[in-house]
Amino acid sequence: MLKTTRRKVLKGAAALATTAALPKGAYAQGEPIKIGILTPLTGAGGNDGPRMLKAMTAVFEEVNKQGGVLGRKIETVVEDDQTNPEAAVRAARKLIEVNKVPMILGTWASAVTAAVAPVCWESKTFLMTVSGADSITLLPHQGFLIRTQPTSKLQATAHGEFLWAQGGRKVAIIGIQAPFAMANKEHLEATLKPKGGEIVSHIIYEKDKPTYRSEIDQMMRGKPDYIYTNGYAPDTVVLLRDMFRAGINLPKFAQSYAVPQPTLDTIPAEVSANVFTGQPSADIESPAYKLAAARIGEKEPDGYVSQATDWASLAVLTIAKAKAVSGVAMKDNVRKICQGSGQKVYSAVEGLKVLAEGKEINYEGASGPCDFTDIGDILGCRFRYMHVVKGKLEFLKLV
Amino acid sequence: MEHYLVAMGVTAGIYAMMALGMNVIWGMAGLINLGLVGFFAIGAYTSGLLTLKLGWPIPLGILAGMAAASVSGVLVAMITVRLRGDYLAIVTLGFAETMRVVMSNELWIANGTDGLSGIPGPFRQALGPHLFNLQFLGIVVAVTVILFFLVERLVHSPFGRVLRGIRDDEQIVAVAGKNVVMFKVKAFAFGTAALGLAGALYGHFTSFIAPDLFAPLLTLYVKLSLLAGGLGNSIGAVVGAVLVVFFLESTRFIIPWVPGISAVQGAALRELLIAIALLVVLRFYARGLVPERIAQPQLPSTPAQASLVIGKST
């Protein structure tokens, strides 16, 4: 019979107090480094989160096989942000307060990042994200945030140049309602107008709709010769299907994450004909992209997968450079390994070797050169354009 | 760990406030309101905007948030006055989605999908994150306790009796000479004020709100709280809210121990566990873990006693 007596409670309390009082050093020297991963595994981002998670895990496994960093293995703690800011904040608090992670990698939706960011900077935890909204890096994050996704300005300007080169003169924009929607339109217009092009229609649609036929009809009223889609994978698929049904055979541009190969495999080749995709990319001779592709066994990893690869590599290299594991060490040292005049390295393992020789390094990533401004935006990058041919993504050009 | 528990305590408290508010509308008056998160959003946005843009003091902002939610509650109640059951549920769900879409597209005031960041919290800078959370837990617990007693007072008042009457049979209440519409509107006014209060406090706690926050997921969690705790019962509402947050969070710690599944499968399993828990509760505790207690009138067992009872009461 289990009886709770005062003595038992006192004994239990004393035992608990003793455990809590044990010094941190009582743990083994080789205690693994815990890194928090907070990607969407369910909800609207459920398409991209798992692929990003796979890319990061692949890098950490590679590093662990080579003996880890600072003599310690890397252990990931994965939480699902449910593509919902409220759920994401609860998950972030768990990672920070319970697992004591020095950094969180992986928030995807801009609203989720904006909600999680204050929790991170208040507790001095470093955050890396793909959220593209310009407003994210303008938050008072005190340096505890970087993003590998180019700002709307960088992206839309590059896309505008591409559309012009492709012969797009009368461009129609059809995109999801998101923080980047208006900014993209403005920068696209600013690029095309001086050349003599124009934006003939601009339609913003609501996510999760089963059909976008009325939006498409509205868009076609402007008689465009090029269609610029600006959504995520679930809605872009619906959009492409509806455009095919409506018999629209115009060239269409989409972000690479909106039309990844796994999604293309689920739709007929006729539907995805004449689709072009763009993504931020490293130099063509940069082996980082090829290494990332080989690591996860994908022929053409999209922008998100490349960026996730870079976060994991940046995390490992910064820890090695700082010789410390904390959010503050991340913030103070991340720019010391990814920019400057050090030796160029293209993977975490390679960088660790060069660092061990006592040399400076400059990590060149799979998604771009990974050079950051003071507020955490990338300075610039190249753009890799692909063409969908018979349902398969094929390399077109690098600008 | 303790800081995490404090933050989850605040979340549970806010869920409990919403559950208490919902309980008046749904549990007592029997009006299925799936627009909960819309009123929560109105409270959060009103208080957030007033304190952020116009520099109002936080308590005043919260009161304004409650008032705004309550006024919109009255409007929704008047519009939907002829609707009952599933029809009311659909319309209120539509109301919440409309609120979300409006906030997403409104750039001038609500800042569109970027949302509002930097909403002030009481003494946020001075206290630091941990003390701030602890202080907020104190505030939330105090407010929940006050709200609890207010709702309890309502339950045992003649007003509460009429609401339960409307829930069980609207026509009889009307025949008894009660203005059913007025009672429904009042129930909405009170319940949505509580929802607005929860929203305002949530905004000041997390410092950030955006339209994506107000997705139907939150409505379902609070509905789950009420179903698990016991519909129509204040203790049940609070117990249910705490249980739901406890369950949502504790599953995080269980999943890593399940062998042979990936993180993605783990996330799906977590949602499955929540669904199973709801099914179990509904199957074995159809009226919730703490069922509503309805005072049963003592029925006389023999005619002689009956005449005695009648004699006494006249």
Residue with tokens 């990061």: A56
What pLDDT shows up at residue B67?
Answer: 97
Partnered with residue A378 across adjacent β-strands are A372
CA separation for the pair A140, B110 (Å, rounded): 19
Q: What pLDDT, in 10s, does the model give residues B11-47?
A: 999 999 999 999 999 999 999 989 999 999 999 999 9
| Residue B303 pLDDT exceeds 70 | no
Q: What are phi and psi of B120, to 5 degrees?
A: -65, 150
What pLDDT shows up at residue A219?
Answer: 94
In a domain, A46, yes or no: no
Contacts of A41 in chain B (CB under 8 A): 263-264, 266-268
Asked if A90 lies within 8 A of B8 by C-beta distance, the reply is yes
Asked if A80 lies within 8 A of B11 by C-beta distance, the reply is no
8 Å CB contact between B81 and B139: no
In a domain, A391, yes or no: yes
CA separation for the pair A16, A37 (Å, rounded): 30
Q: What pLDDT, in 10s, does the model give residues A80-114?
A: 999 889 899 999 999 999 999 999 999 998 889 99
Asked if A177 lies within 8 A of B113 by C-beta distance, the reply is yes
Contacts of A139 in chain B (CB under 8 A): 117-118
Q: What pLDDT, in 10s, does the model give residues B40-51?
A: 999 999 999 999
Asked if A109 lies within 8 A of B212 by C-beta distance, the reply is yes
Tokens of A280: 């931020």
Residue with tokens 């595994």: A41
Mean pLDDT of A293-317: 90
Mean pLDDT of A143-162: 92
Contacts of A206 in chain B (CB under 8 A): 101
Nearest CB among A42, A93, A114 relative to B117 is that of A114
Asked if A111 lies within 8 A of B7 by C-beta distance, the reply is no
Asked if A84 lies within 8 A of B217 by C-beta distance, the reply is yes
| Residue B307 pLDDT exceeds 80 | no
Query: A80: nearest CA in chain B?
Result: B267
Nearest CB among A87, A96, A111 relative to B210 is that of A111
Cα A350 to Cα A33, A133, A360, B29, B65: the distances in Å are 20, 32, 12, 67, 55
Mean pLDDT of A197-209: 91
CB contacts < 8 Å between A and B, how many? 102
Q: What pLDDT, in 10s, does the model give residues B56-111?
A: 999 999 999 999 999 999 999 999 988 888 899 999 999 999 999 999 888 888 88
Tokens of A335: 């720019």
Partnered with residue A343 across adjacent β-strands are A361
Asked if A115 lies within 8 A of B206 by C-beta distance, the reply is yes
Does A140 contact B at CB distance below 8 Å? yes
Cα A31 to Cα A26, A71, A72, A327, A342: the distances in Å are 11, 9, 6, 18, 30
CATH of the domain at A203: 3.40.50.2300
Asked if B114 lies within 8 A of A135 by C-beta distance, the reply is yes
CA separation for the pair A229, A227 (Å, rounded): 6
| Residue A22 pLDDT exceeds 50 | no
Asked if B114 lies within 8 A of A182 by C-beta distance, the reply is no
Query: A98: nearest CA in chain B?
Result: B1
What pLDDT shows up at residue B305?
Answer: 63
Residue with tokens 């994991």: A312
Does A20 contact B at CB distance below 8 Å? no
8 Å CB contact between B119 and B51: yes
Residues in chain B: 314
What pLDDT shows up at residue A187?
Answer: 93
What pLDDT shows up at residue A285?
Answer: 67
Q: What pLDDT, in 10s, does the model give residues B203-213?
A: 999 999 999 88
pLDDT, chain A, mean: 89
Tokens of A158: 């590059």
Question: Of the given ranges (A267-271, A380-384, B219-223), which has the lowest mean pLDDT?
Answer: A380-384
Mean pLDDT of A146-171: 92
What pLDDT shows up at residue A4?
Answer: 57
The model's confidence at residue A28, banded by pLDDT at 50, 70 and 90, is: very low
Name the H helices within chain B: 2-22, 36-53, 58-79, 85-105, 124-156, 158-168, 170-175, 180-206, 216-229, 234-254, 263-284, 303-313
Nearest CB among A50, A93, A135 relative to B7 is that of A93
CA separation for the pair A71, B52 (Å, rounded): 48
What pLDDT shows up at residue A368?
Answer: 87
In a domain, A6, yes or no: no
CA separation for the pair B303, A167 (Å, rounded): 96
What pLDDT shows up at residue A332?
Answer: 94
What pLDDT shows up at residue A335?
Answer: 94
Q: Name the minimum distance, in Å, from the CA of B305 to any CA of chain A.
A: 48
Q: Name the minimum distance, in Å, from the CA of A85 to any CA of chain B.
A: 5
In a domain, A55, yes or no: no
Axis-axis angle for helices B124-156, B158-168 (nearest 10): 70
Residues in chain A: 399
What pLDDT shows up at residue A281?
Answer: 82
Query: A139: nearest CA in chain B?
Result: B117
In a domain, A229, yes or no: yes
Asked if B263 lies within 8 A of A78 by C-beta distance, the reply is yes
Q: Name the minimum distance, in Å, from the CA of A345 to any CA of chain B.
A: 30
Tokens of A242: 């509806």
8 Å CB contact between A104 and A308: no
Q: Provide the residue range defining the domain that includes A234.
A: 152-279+381-398
Partnered with residue A382 across adjacent β-strands are A281
Element housing A296 (H / E)? helix A287-296
What pLDDT shows up at residue B83?
Answer: 85
Q: What are phi and psi of A275, to 5 degrees?
A: -100, 135
Alpha carbon dihedral A85, A90, A95, A96, in 10-degree steps, equals: 100
| Residue A260 pLDDT exceeds 90 | no
Q: Name the minimum distance, in Å, from the CA of B302 to any CA of chain A.
A: 47
Interface probe for B, chosen from A19, A56, A57, A80 (most Cβ of B below 10 Å), is A80
Contacts of B264 in chain A (CB under 8 A): 41, 49-50, 53
In a domain, A165, yes or no: yes
Q: What pLDDT, in 10s, does the model give residues B101-145?
A: 999 888 888 888 888 988 999 998 889 888 999 999 999 999 999
Greater pLDDT, A79 or B216: A79
| Residue A1 pLDDT exceeds 50 | no
Interface probe for A, chosen from B213, B258, B261, B262 (most Cβ of A below 10 Å), is B213
Query: B15: nearest CA in chain A?
Result: A86
Question: Could you say which DSSP state residue A378 is in?
Answer: B
| Residue A140 pLDDT exceeds 50 | yes
Tally the domains of chain A. 1
Tokens of A88: 């994401």
Q: What is the share, in percent, of chain A residues with pLDDT greater than 90?
A: 67
Partnered with residue A126 across adjacent β-strands are A103
Q: What residue spans define the domains of chain B? A: 2-214
3-state class (DSSP) for residue B309: helix
Question: Could you say which DSSP state residue A72 is in?
Answer: B
Q: What pLDDT, in 10s, does the model give residues A320-373?
A: 999 999 999 999 999 999 988 899 999 999 999 999 999 999 999 998 889 999
Question: Could you say which DSSP state residue A372 is in?
Answer: B
What pLDDT shows up at residue A20?
Answer: 47
